[in-house]
Structure 1
């Protein structure tokens, strides 16, 4: 899921990564709306809010919204920066897993702060929303970077448009036989469905777990990070056994 980069990725790799990251993004967004009354999986609406606050002369509120936009930007920047700088220094898996672990730590921080320190003040809320936007920026930057912009899981505006375009193209028989278009349709549909399922899981989970819903999201992110580690360890073990076997047979 995280081992491969760009055109080396298979449809299966993209489906797994897209489904799990979209599910976690849906959970984060619905939980943040429930707790903070703020969307955190995308910043499209915040550009409009920023302009609105400036037009009203609400400079402080405008600055806060601008900060939210910038931390999402910085999350995406950091993801791609780590991936680029990691080439040649460590394995692709490590450079791809780092943004996921940073995202996990950001979400975990929000959960822990809410549970043990939150005083329900406006400044705390603004800061915690920023932390979640940073986490979503990390995720969106990672998935877009390693999939050559095929996977974007934190917002669905462009995805919904692409699905509509694909459906219109499928009105022609020859396009329905095009494997690349069909694979893209399946990937986008999977991301859309799992995002909604993640939001549904968060809504139900919050009724029973409360703040613990953030911890559940961390479990999903951790599973994304360690999935390929297990596979890498298994592959290394396989090649070590082959090396031992060849050595023993040659001697």
Structure 2
């Protein structure tokens, strides 16, 4: 799912990646909206809010929106730096560090109310942390899938989906249509995952509040475990072939 890159990566790898991480993004997004009143999976809306607060001369709030944008950018930069550094060392485990950092952030934010009383300044810090985590995830997925999969925002996805649906009326070659339909299905899976995560997170938030963030953290750790188990299976399979 994460480990395969370049020629070793196929459609099924991207489909698995899209399904799990888009659901994670949906869960984090709805939890951020309900508990923090903040969009945490993209920065498009924050530019509009920044402009609004600037016009209203509410410079303190305008600055906070700039920080939101900055933390998402920082998360993407850190993720990109880690992956590039690992690629220079020929490591295939570059994805582990960003995923672990994201999981730690989600677990910490989810359990924070257990240890301290949550006040407005703390909520702002949690927003910063979640935007950083989503920047990490978006950059990681983009790098691993070679920009085929994006999981934290849907605007560009719906645009690409609309273009590809229109192309169905013009592409007549069988091979081209199969490729186009697979691409459309992948995008629909990302959208469905994001929606399912949002709906599930909305229901869970009524009972668990910020602890809802523990579920996406568990999903990320499960994805790492799943990748590790598959790797061990393939190693075992190869060793058995060599023994024959």
TM range, normalised to the smaller chain?
over 0.9
1:175: Cα distance to partner? 6.3
Q: CA deviation at 1:13?
A: 0.3
- 3-state DSSP of counterpart to 2:203: helix
TM-score normalised by length of structure 2: 0.93
- 1:32-91 per-position Cα deviation (integer Å, ceiling 9, x unaligned): 111111111111000111122222222221211111101100111111111110024363
What corresponds to 2:143 in structure 1? Answer: 145
Tell me how many residue pairs correspond in the alignment: 243
C-alpha separation between the residues in 1 aligned to 2:205 and 2:173?
A: 43
Shift of 1:241: 4.3
**Pair 1:175–1:199, CA change in 2 (3 A):** farther
The normalised TM-score by structure 1 is 0.90
Q: Offset of 1:237 from its aligned partner?
A: 2.9
* Structure 2 counterpart of 1:209: 208
The structure-2 alpha-carbon separation of the partners of 1:22 and 1:175, relative to structure 1 and needing over 3 Å to count, comes to farther
Whether the 8 Å contact between 1:6 and 1:145 is mirrored in structure 2 is no
Distance 1:148 1:7 in 2: 11
Q: Determine helix, strand or coil for the equivalent of 1:210.
A: helix
Q: What is the DSSP-based 3-state SS (H/G/I as helix, E as strand, rest coil) of the residue aligned with 1:154?
A: coil
| Structure 2: unaligned runs, 5 residues or longer | none
1:157 aligns with 2:174: no
Matched, 1:4 2:4: yes
Q: Which residue of 2 aligns with 1:184?
A: 183
Greater mean alpha carbon deviation, residues 33-42 or residues 210-219:
210-219
**Distance in 2 of aligned mates of 1:114 and 1:6:** 42
Structure 1, unaligned runs of 5 or more: 247-251
Give the secondary-structure state (helix, strand or coil) at the position aligned to 1:118: coil
Counterparts of 2:27 and 2:64, CA distance in 1: 24
CA contact (8 A) 1:7 1:148 kept: no
Tell me which structure has the larger Cα radius of gyration.
Answer: 1
Tell me by how many angstroms 1:177 deviates.
Answer: 5.3
